[in-house]
Amino acid sequence: MSELNGLHHVTAIAGDPQENLDFYAGVLGLRLVKKSVNQDVPDTYHLFYADAEGRPGTDLTFFPWPDMGPGQAGTHAVSATSRVPALQTIVFETSLKGPP
């Protein structure tokens, strides 16, 4: 079995694409790296965010589906996961709370 050295990106489902952009780029300060389409559902965007330097492992992507209802936890469903480097946590906290 090969060793897992990290994640390339994490993808999530989102609501309104403009609200998604406003929060992740405007509030958290991530950079919108790429906007493409979902290859399986071409009328849906695929939004890619990363840190300012575009470092590997900082990618976060979204498929915005504004008309989708709230998710429901089920068998074998991932309901929450996180792995945020300590420095990035400080950056996000400052973005959310404002400077000290």
How far is it, in rounded angstroms, from Cα 37 to Cα 65? 12
- Indicate left, alpha or beta for 54 from its phi (over 0: left) and psi (-120 to 50: alpha): left
How far is it, in rounded angstroms, from Cα 16 to Cα 68? 10
77 or 62, greater pLDDT? 62
Which residue ranges make up each domain of the chain? 9-66+78-97
Mean pLDDT of the chain: 79
Res 88 pLDDT > 60: no
Structure tokens belonging to residue 4 = 């897992």
Per DSSP, what are the bridge partners of residue 74?
none
Does the domain at 9-66+78-97 match CATH 3.30.43.10? Answer given as: no
pLDDT in tens, 24-39: 899 888 899 999 998 8
